[in-house]
Amino acid sequence: MTAKIIDGKDIAQQVREDLKKEVKALAARGVQPGLAVIVVGDNPASKVYVGQKAKACAEVGVHSEEHRFPEDVSEETVLQKIAQLNANPRIHGMIVQLPLPEHIRIATVLEAIAPTKDVDGFHMYNVGGLVIGDNKIFPPCTPYGVQFLLEYSDIPIEGRNVVVVGASNIVGKPMGLMLLHKEATVSICHVKTRDLGQFTILADILVVAAGKPGLIVPQMVKTGAVVIDVGINRLPNGKLVGDVDFEGVRQKASHITPVPGGVGPMTVTMLIYNTVEAAKRQTGTGDKSAPKLAG
């Protein structure tokens, strides 16, 4: 068996085309969705991610603005900016690019964002809503993108065995919860899991988000499994790879995502998706074009 490639780049492009149409329809009603990105310091990876977000906003017609602060900015100054943006009707979604310098408390900053504008889905309100399955929250973008890839590829989730490798707050845990709400049977593995392969071999859908290149090899994967590789790792030779031995596992899986070009393009796209959704909710314009992904 050679797996079908789930082309995240292509699917993300199609979602962006749909979003463009939604943004146009909103413009006709006098609304332009707006996203604010707060960046502290000069982290090169953050620069790349922030650039990708701005480009995606421009492509879809979403207003975006960047608020940059030096590494030694006080927490108070960042909180003041968040308060201003919370009150700004032109801004419907706001994110704080992580990581933050050590003297700034991440939890304090994230809790300062109005939950209605928290399009990264990191505020405790949105995290709690995800736990109870409230469909008014903003799901975090990476696992939301994975869910979308599965649904778009017509992969059944209900009743399936899902194994998530990685238990971070931004990927692994919310991923497990989202697929649990889709009525899968979910196991979440982490660094202390004994004999990882004993779990992964049972997966109908295997989502890997550990940040460890080569972690998943063919003998850990059930024949016909769907394998979603969230990992992004830069090898010493400069090559970008996921956590899965792509060439080996694709001979066994039914579907697989590549790295790059799998989950990555969906993450930014779902940020724009959440921002458009936030704009619709805040302006009461969401009734005529309900989100396609909810539920």
Q: Is 201 in the site for ligand NAP (CB under 6 A)?
A: no
State in angstroms the smallest separation of the CB of 165 from ligand NAP. Answer: 5
Q: Is 289 in the site for ligand NAP (CB under 6 A)?
A: no
Q: Is 196 in the site for ligand NAP (CB under 6 A)?
A: yes
Q: How many residues bind ligand NAP (CB under 6 A)?
A: 26
Q: Is 189 in the site for ligand NAP (CB under 6 A)?
A: yes
State in angstroms the smallest separation of the CB of 48 from ligand NAP. Answer: 12
Q: Is 213 in the site for ligand NAP (CB under 6 A)?
A: no
Nearer to ligand NAP, 51 or 70 (CB): 51
What is the residue type of 154? D
Cβ(243)–Cβ(220) under 8 Å?
no
The tokens describing 291, both together, are 């989100």
Angle, CA of 280, 281 and 282, to the nearest 5°:
95
Q: Is 207 in the site for ligand NAP (CB under 6 A)?
A: no
Which residues are designated catalytic?
53, 97, 120
Q: Phi and psi dihedrals of 166, rounded to 5?
A: 115, 135
Nearer to ligand NAP, 91 or 221 (CB): 221
Number of other residues whose CB lies within 10 A of the CB of residue 217? 13
Provide CB contacts within 8 A for 279, sequence distance 6+: 26, 31, 32, 33, 34, 92, 93, 285
For ligand NAP, the binding residue among 178, 215, 227, 272 (CB under 6 A) is 215
Among the listed residues 45, 49, 13, 6, the one whose alpha carbon sits nearest the alpha carbon of residue 246: 6
Q: How many CA atoms lie within 13 A of 93 on its CB side?
A: 33
State in angstroms the smallest separation of the CB of 30 from ligand NAP. Answer: 33
Contacts with ligand NAP in 8-47 (CB under 6 A)?
Answer: none
Contacts with ligand NAP in 76-135 (CB under 6 A)?
Answer: none
3-state helix, strand, coil in the chain (%, to 5): 40, 15, 40
State in angstroms the smallest separation of the CB of 216 from ligand NAP. Answer: 9
Q: Please give the Cα distance from 203 to 162 (Å, whole number).
A: 5
For ligand NAP, the binding residue among 167, 226, 256, 270 (CB under 6 A) is 167
What is the residue type of 237? N
Cβ(144)–Cβ(130) under 8 Å?
no
Q: Is 232 in the site for ligand NAP (CB under 6 A)?
A: yes
For ligand NAP, the binding residue among 57, 82, 100, 263 (CB under 6 A) is 263
Q: Is 178 in the site for ligand NAP (CB under 6 A)?
A: no
Among the listed residues 186, 110, 178, the one whose alpha carbon sits nearest the alpha carbon of residue 144: 178
Among the listed residues 253, 237, 142, 135, the one whose alpha carbon sits nearest the alpha carbon of residue 200: 253
State in angstroms the smallest separation of the CB of 63 from ligand NAP. Answer: 23
Cβ(85)–Cβ(94) under 8 Å?
yes
Q: Is 166 in the site for ligand NAP (CB under 6 A)?
A: yes
Q: Is 269 in the site for ligand NAP (CB under 6 A)?
A: no
Q: Is 261 in the site for ligand NAP (CB under 6 A)?
A: no
Interface ranges with ligand NAP (CB under 6 A): 142, 165-168, 170-172, 189-193, 196, 209-212, 215, 230-233, 263-264, 267
